[in-house]
Amino acid sequence: MRNRAINLTKYLKYSTLTRNSEFLRFSSYFKLPKKINNCRNQLYHNKYSLSIPKIKNVTTSVNELVVNWSDNTDSHYSYIWLRDNCNCVECIHPASRQKLHSSAQIPLNIEPISTISYDEGIEILWGKELLKDVLNSPSKNAIHHKSIYTPDFLHSYKSTRNILSKRFNDLPITHWDASLMRSKNLWVNYDEFINSDRELLSALKQIWNYGLVFLRDVPAFNSLDGKEGIIKVVERIGSLQNTIYGSIWDVKSKPDSRNIAYTELELGLHMDLLYYEASPGLQFLHCLKNTVNGGKSIFADSFMAVTRLQQQYPKDYEILTKVPMTFHYINDGHFMHFNRPVIVIDQANDSMVVNYSPPFQGPIETGFENNDNNHSPIKNGEIPMREFYRAFQRFSSLVEAPELRFELLLNSGELAIFANRRVLHGRRRFDAESGERHLKGAYLDMSEFKDRLRVLLMNENQKKL
Rounded Cα distance between 13 and 338, Å, is: 65
Q: Which residue has the higher pLDDT, 226 or 112?
A: 112
pLDDT in tens, 96-152: 999 999 999 999 999 999 999 987 899 999 988 898 765 565 544 456 899 999 999
pLDDT number for residue 79: 97
Strand partners, 330: 335
Return the domain boundaries, the chain: 5-166, 178-458
Percent of the chain with pLDDT over 90: 65
pLDDT number for residue 382: 60
Q: Is 230 helix (H, G, I), strand (E, B) or coil?
A: helix
Q: What's the angle, vertex CA 213, arms to CA 250 and CA 443, rounded to 5?
A: 40
Q: Which residue has the higher pLDDT, 63 or 19?
A: 63
pLDDT in tens, 357-412: 999 999 998 876 555 454 444 554 567 889 999 999 999 999 999 999 999 999 99
Q: Is 145 helix (H, G, I), strand (E, B) or coil?
A: coil
Rounded Cα distance between 274 and 420, Å, is: 10
> Which of 419, 443, 439, 442 minimizes the C-alpha distance to 296?
439
pLDDT band at 261; cut points 50, 70, 90:
low
> Which of 347, 343, 379 minimizes the C-alpha distance to 364?
379
pLDDT in tens, 275-330: 999 999 999 999 999 988 878 999 999 999 999 999 999 999 999 999 999 999 99
Equal fold, 5-166 vs 178-458: no
pLDDT number for residue 354: 98
Is 5-166 a domain of CATH 3.40.50.10490?
Answer: no
Rounded Cα distance between 313 and 209, Å, is: 25
DSSP3 helix / strand / coil % (the chain, rounded to 5): 35, 25, 35
DSSP 454: H
pLDDT number for residue 80: 97
Rounded Cα distance between 170 and 47, Å, is: 12
Alpha helices in 368-464 (DSSP H): 385-399, 446-463
* Beta carbons of 442 and 231 less than 8 angstroms apart: yes
Mean pLDDT of the chain: 84
69 Cβ contact partners less than 8 Å away, ≥ 6 residues apart: 53, 54, 55, 56, 75, 155, 158
Rounded Cα distance between 460 and 464, Å, is: 7
pLDDT number for residue 224: 81
pLDDT at 452 over 70: yes
Is 178-458 a domain of CATH 3.60.130.10?
Answer: yes
pLDDT in tens, 53-108: 999 999 999 899 999 999 999 999 999 999 999 999 999 999 999 999 999 999 99
pLDDT number for residue 74: 95
Indicate the pTM of the whole model: 0.81
